[in-house]
């Protein structure tokens, strides 16, 4: 989260100067302007409106003294937000630009379907039409992102993944859209995937259904 602070110090100095010139009587009658406009951008209209509604309570606050941590706490409770940027347009306008988390995969928890976001949060899956892999097993979120990094370091394309199966031993099976199940070892996953990519190019391996690469220097194939 980033907050623009352009000319903030000068504004505070000016404000304190104004306050300093007021006597107690005038000060008691002095009213600081409150936020009267909040602009949300970065999401679709429905999502923008939902967040705007949750931030309406800020209209009771003064923009000069608004604590950015207060906004951060409110927005961080929304699971599909990855990052957000705050800027203040004095005297009364607050702008919030939001970056939505990328959708990584579907997963099931407590008999409910969620989408795992790039922010490592689980998002309620209201839309099941997205082309995303399904993760099966007792998911450890960090383990998924470790796997994602291994895939990115390899010549294997993440877009080829149809389903992922996580095992309590800490390893994965990958099911591709071409119907192949790749049994991966716990370590050296990127190198193993590179080996698979080269192997699958050969005619003798075009029709395989399962390839077990869990053991080093050993390949077990089922057609």
Q: Please say if the pLDDT value at position 30 is more than 70.
A: no
User: Comparing 42 with 27, which gets the higher pLDDT?
Assistant: 42
* Arithmetic mean of pLDDT, 111-135: 92
User: Which among 11-15, 62-66, 153-157 has the top mean pLDDT?
Assistant: 153-157
Distance CA 143, CA 146 (A): 5
pTM to 2 decimals?
0.79
Between helices 68-75 and 45-55, what is the axis angle to 10°?
Answer: 130
Give the residue among 167, 44, 156 at the shortest CA–CA distance from 100.
Answer: 44
* Tokens linked to 36: 């009267």
Q: How many residues does the chain have?
A: 223
Distance CA 82, CA 117 (A): 8
pLDDT tens digit sequence for 132-163: 999 999 999 999 999 999 999 999 999 999 99
> CB of 156 within 8 A of CB of 182?
no
Distance CA 156, CA 85 (A): 35
Q: What is the DSSP letter of 63?
A: S
Tell me the CATH architecture of domain 103-222: 3-Layer(aba) Sandwich (3.40)
> CB of 125 within 8 A of CB of 113?
yes
Residue 68 binned pLDDT confidence (cut-offs 50, 70, 90): confident
User: Which among 41-50, 191-200, 205-214 has the top mean pLDDT?
Assistant: 191-200
> CB of 115 within 8 A of CB of 134?
no
CATH code assigned to 2-100: 3.10.20.310
Q: What is the DSSP letter of 95?
A: E
pLDDT of residue 3: 47
Residue 115 binned pLDDT confidence (cut-offs 50, 70, 90): very high
> CB of 81 within 8 A of CB of 75?
yes
Distance CA 34, CA 22 (A): 20
CA 201 remoteness from chain centre: 35
What single string gives the DSSP state of each residue in 36-77? Answer: -EEEEESS-HHHHHHHHHHHGGGGGSBSTT--HHHHHHHHTT
In the chain, where the domains are located: 2-100, 103-222
Positive or negative, the Cα torsion across 126, 128, 132, 138? positive
């Amino acid at each position: 989260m980033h907050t623009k602070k352009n000319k903030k110090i000068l504004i505070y100095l000016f404000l304190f100067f104004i306050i300093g010139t007021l006597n107690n009587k005038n000060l008691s009658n002095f009213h600081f302007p409150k936020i009267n406009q909040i602009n949300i951008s970065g999401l679709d209209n429905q999502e923008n409106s939902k967040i705007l509604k949750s931030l309406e309570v800020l209209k009771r606050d003064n923009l000069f003294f608004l604590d950015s941590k207060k906004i951060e706490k409110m927005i961080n409770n929304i699971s599909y937000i990855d990052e957000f940027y705050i800027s203040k347009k004095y005297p009364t306008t607050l702008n919030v630009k939001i970056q939505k988390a990328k959708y990584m995969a579907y997963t099931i928890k407590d008999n409910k379907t969620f989408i795992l976001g790039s922010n490592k949060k689980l998002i309620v899956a209201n839309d099941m039409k997205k082309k995303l892999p399904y993760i099966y097993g007792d998911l450890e979120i960090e383990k998924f992102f470790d796997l994602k990094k291994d895939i990115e370091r390899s010549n294997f394309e993440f877009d080829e993944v149809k389903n992922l199966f996580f095992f309590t031993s800490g390893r994965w099976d990958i099911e591709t859209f071409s119907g192949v199940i790749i049994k991966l070892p716990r370590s050296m996953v990127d190198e193993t995937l590179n080996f698979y990519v080269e192997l699958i190019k050969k005619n003798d391996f075009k029709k395989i259904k399962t390839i077990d690469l869990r053991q080093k220097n050993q390949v077990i194939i089922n057609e």
